[in-house]
Each structure stands twice: as structure tokens, then as C-alpha cells.
Amino acid sequence: MLRPFGHQNRRTFYWTLSSRLVFALAFLQFQPLVAQQPLEVEFNLFNLPNCRQILIALNSPALATFEKRPLGECLKTLAEAYRVSIWVDRRVDLSRLVSIVGNGANEPPEAKTTLGRLVAVAKLGGADAGLIENIVYVGPADQIGAVQLAAVRLHNEIMTNRKGASNDEQVELRTLNWDEITTPTELLDNIQKRWSIKVNSELPHDLMHAGELPSTTLATQLTLLHAGFDRQVECNSSSIFTASQLVQESVWKADYADKEVQADRLAAARKEFPKATMLTKGKVSTVTGPTGFHLQLFAIRIPTSRNTEPKFTMNEVRAPLENVIGVLAKNLGMQVNWSDDIPQSKRQAVVNFGVPKAKTTNEILKQIADESGLKIQRQQQTIEVLP
């Protein structure tokens, strides 16, 4: 998980002569209102293979439980348990305490996934989460769609400027890493050197923890770095990169082949994005809406085979064995049956227990059994604890 040290909040105010302002308002009164057309994307950042691959992982079943733990600790645990790269916006307060029970009861399928758990944890911490290429971005709740669109726009601009570029062209990906106590300007210099580019950008001073990103596009790296300062990067037809104020828009349009989207998911997606659309002509579907709408329609199915079980994580606790098993059962919506032959002293023995890496229910029960010396087995909706 990646996160800057400090926090700054700078704003720039623009003053306009009153006479010019009055003239502008008067002029606007006589102009017909024209709805701004959404960005039409030819080179789709979210259609890259690395994005499709991470979507499979993010759509896999997952469970998680945290009891009054800092948001930063929860995100780190999920990132390590499910092998997901997370970028946390510098404005997010990682010290906020989060409690979540991941038993999955009465939840829609998408909430029971790895991405669903990340979104839930982020929202409990006063933020939100969304995918940018193959990185989960955690940022202010009202910024996710705008930052996603900034990355989509920049990638489309970069690819459009490449001579002879085509949708089948192999997009260049590069890793990115930096040392402890790195400033945003130093990280920007690092990106410029790695990609042999020049970006017209001045970033405020801040300090960042050491971190690394897996292989990603230039667009994603520049967008994530600038997002925390309410900025985005654009690339003009001369391939000149310039940072500017983040545009508060989230809707974009792209065409998909019939096998790339699933029409049967449209009704569910429209519940969250009622103004978004998907129009199909022949074997091509045109999708218009925020990034979240595009991703919901992608042909990435949640695993449903009999051998696929949800995986579960728990932050480490020091508590009586009886309490540990009780918490696990509660999260799974199960009951616990203790054998009368197990003495109370054994049930109240204090243990250190945690599941830092995601495991299935049976794997966790075996871990508890191995550490306690008891026989623990699962019988339908009951956990049996035997001597």
C-alpha cells in the first residue's frame, strides 16, 4: 500500500474585474445551452490485459473482519492478503478506526468480492475506492470518478499521438519505485527519467513513504501522483505534458466487442448509474457512463464453481480461545458447539491469533486446531470443537 506522509491543502483564487464578469454573464444569457459531450475513447486504459487480469482477482470471493483498527492497517492487510496494489490519496486520513464484519449475509454478490471489501473499508474510513488500470485508488469520495477519467483521457491522448498506433499495439508498461521520504517533485523526476519525457508541473512540497507500483502505463503513474493535489496531466498533439486543475467530470464513452461486455449485467449496473447507457448495434456495444459503469459490464465473471470458496482475513488479536472462535463463527454466520469434555480453562486460555494472508474457512479452522491442540471441524452451519 502506498501513501504520502504529509498533508497540505492549498487553493488558488482568481479575481475578475466586475465589468468583465457582468459582460460575460450577459453574453451567456443569449447563448443556447449545449450539453457537454462525453470523452470518446479509442484507446481504452481499462481494456488492457493487466487490467482484465486484476479484475478477475478483484471479483473473486473475499471476506474480512476488523475491529476498531486504523484504516491504514486495514488497507495494508487486504493488500497483502489478496495481492492487490493500492495507492492511497494523501488527503485520506489513515488513522480513522474501522470496524467491519465480513460474513456476507444479505449482501449482493459484488459486495462479497475483494474489490467490494476494499470499497466498504474505504467508505467506513470516510473515503472511497476505485480501480485505475491495475491499481486500486483510495481517495476522497467525490473524486474517484474524476481521477479515473483523468487517467483514461491521458492514456487515450498518449496513444493517439503515437504514429501508426492501433488498438492491437502493445502498450508500454513500466514499474515504478521510490525511497523513504521522497518528495512528489522527486518522484515526478523519477517518472520523467524512466519514460524520457518532460512534464510541465509544479507540485507542492510533501513527503512520501517508500513504495512501488507494478508494471503500469505512464498515464496511470502521472495521474496517481497528481491526484492528491487536485490536478491531472494532459498530453497535447505535440506530445507536450502539462499539469492542470482536475476536471470534475466522470463520464466517458467507448466501444466494446460483443464478447468484452455482458448485456445481462446492464440492469444491475443501471441501478447504481441510472443515467449511464449501453447501445448495441450488431456486434459492437457503445458504453457511456462513469468508469464504475464500464467495469460492471465487463465480461469478468465472479467464480462460482463448487471448489471456489471465499477467503477470509483477520487482524491479529490476543483474546481467549473461546472469543476467537466466536468471532470467526459470527463473521461466517455460523454457530459454535463446544464439547462438554473441554474444560473451561482450555476455553478461556489466552491466545494470539490472526490471519494475515487470506485463507478459506477450512484452512482457518485447521490453523486454530493446530495452535490449540483441539479438534475443530465444520458441520454445515456449525463449528464443532472437540478435545
Q: What is the pLDDT of residue 105?
A: 53
The amino acid present at 344, given as its one-letter code, is Q
Query: 211-216 and 174-178 as β-strands: parallel, antiparallel, unpaired?
Result: antiparallel
Q: Which residues contact 349 (CB under 8 A, 6 or more apart)?
A: 320, 321, 372
pLDDT at 170: 63
* Residue 172 in this model has a pLDDT that exceeds 50: yes
Contact predicate 241/221, CB 8 Å: no
Highest mean pLDDT among 83-87, 298-302, 367-371: 83-87
The x, y and z cell numbers of residue 130, run together, are 476505485
More confident residue, 354 or 35: 354
Confidence at residue 346, expressed as pLDDT on a 0 to 100 scale: 86
pTM for this prediction: 0.73
Rg (CA), the chain: 24
The four Cα atoms 81, 82, 83, 88 give a dihedral, to 10 degrees, of -90
Q: Note the pLDDT tens digit of each residue in 215-238.
A: 999 999 999 999 999 999 999 988
Judged by DSSP in three states, 207 sits in coil
Q: How confident is the model at residue 9 (pLDDT cuts 50, 70, 90)?
A: very low
- Three-class SS state of 202: coil
Residue 6 has what pLDDT? 45
Q: What pLDDT is stored for residue 163 in this prediction? A: 61
**pLDDT beyond 80 at 376:** yes
Which pLDDT value is given to residue 224? 98
Q: Is the pLDDT of residue 24 over 50?
A: no
The better pLDDT of the pair 106, 323 is held by 323
Confidence at 20, pLDDT banded by 50, 70, 90? very low
3-state secondary structure at position 283: coil
Q: What is the structure's pLDDT at 158?
A: 94
pLDDT band for position 164 (cuts 50, 70, 90)? low
pLDDT at 206: 92
Residue 15: pLDDT band (50, 70, 90) is: very low
Give 61-74 as a DSSP string. BEEEEEEEEEHHHH
Q: What mean pLDDT is reported for the chain?
A: 82
Higher pLDDT, 7 or 151: 151
Domains of the chain listed by start with CATH number: 39-245 (3.55.50.10), 311-386 (3.55.50.30)
The rounded percent of the chain whose pLDDT value lies above 90 is: 44
Spatial strand order of the sheet with 62-70 comes to: 97-100, 62-70, 311-320, 350-359
Could you tell me the maximum CA-CA distance found in the chain, to the nearest angstrom?
89
Contact 127, 264 (CB under 8 A): no
Pick from 34-43, 124-133, 331-340: least confident: 331-340
SS3 call for 291: helix
Contact 284, 256 (CB under 8 A): yes
C-alpha 155/C-alpha 159 separation (Å) is 6
